[in-house]
Structure 1
Amino acid sequence: MKPFKFRNFTIHQSGNVFRVGTDGVLLGVLCSANHSEKILEVGTGTGLISLMIAQRNPQAEILSLDINEEAEKLAAENFSNSPFKDRMQTVHQDFKDFETGEKFGLIISNPPYFEENPSEKDILARQQTELSFDHLISKTAEFLSETGIFSVIIPFEAGNEFEQKCLKYALFLQKRIKIFGIKNAKAKRCILEFGFEQRNISESEFVIEKSPRKYSDEYLELTQEFHVFGQ
């Protein structure tokens, strides 16, 4: 499978690992990653989001987990070929069984969001067969620092359910970004950020395309340090 080249790193891909997609790119650029020194990514796949965060935050040490052994090896290869390799580590690990004495200033995930279904495509990455919202949230609450941020991108219609599940673990919504695939359409995704601190919720909207196959100005501006456009 053809590698996906960004300005400062290259993502090698595999047919058995969830590929580079817009959701990952958006979470990588929109999450609150600039001030955390220790970051954990749950379900790293190719390592895209972790690499974007490493580029954004030169102080961050990043640990990236994946239950899929092939994904973990692929992410490790992508990390080792990047200029950020000294600050990045991968672990082949089921997050439900993950243990550490460390706390993280940012825990980030593009989690599986479909209920279990007969589809055979990208089962681990797309379906909640191995990592449910409940497992993700409960383990995050265990490892998030007192002032840390939990950041996810999920389907917009799942947002309310996810917020309610987080409340059970005293994780309060701090930021909500509504993602629109195209201008004037219904919201497609949302980026949600939670923490143990209760504060005013930051609300914003983001449009990916201004018309079919034409990126919006805000998308081009936001990703200009990552994407290689026009090549």
Structure 2
Amino acid sequence: MKRILIVTILLSITFSSCAEMQQVINQFPQIQGIGGVDVSGGLKEALNNGISKQVTKLTATDGFYKNEAVKILLPDELKKVDSGLRKIGLSSLADEGLKVLNRAAEDAVKEATPIFVNAVVNMSFSDATTILMGNESAATQYLENSTSTALYGKFNPVIQNSFRKVGADKVWSNIITKYNNIPLVKKVNPDLTDYVTNQAMQGVFKMIAVEEKNIRTNLSSRTSPLLQKVFAMQDHK
């Protein structure tokens, strides 16, 4: 892109008339694209593709639990709970505790997908061209940075409901009670809803980034004329 801009400047010096200059510029569609292509719309389409093609994978059974990239593990505070339960012969309960955290996230993302779609539709890119020319997940990072606080407020109640729906609240109430009854252990009372909310959101953004990278690096992933035009500009940076 820098090389093209330098050529354009040199051409503007070489050609005396605006007509001559425009005739030559027309041979460089990527330069026209900066002003003539809906870059913001292309970025939004890429993010929406990430939601429709990648985030929906998280809503399936084991969508989180068997995806090592996004699987929700126990926070440090609960690792001692896991270890303590296994020492007293409750390994199956410890395993179930980890699984239901991921089940809650899978259910919640299914319910919350419209929240993420709405966030993309309504977001305003402050500098769409800069984001387009950024790294392989620049648009996803922009979405995460500009919407996380608002999304958390909407997503957290969905997680709470999913905890009840998949029975995670009962499982973890049982786990915490059994652990706190072990002699000499320091009692725990973790906020698992907050933890799973944050972990689930991180998983969503990771999966959106996967699709953004696909579109940036794989021509066959540009499945619409707009995506093809917008990301062709990136190819020539």
TM-score normalized with structure 2 length = 0.21
Q: Which has the higher helix share?
A: 2
TM-score, length-scaled by structure 1: 0.21
- Of Structure 1 and Structure 2, the greater strand share is in 1
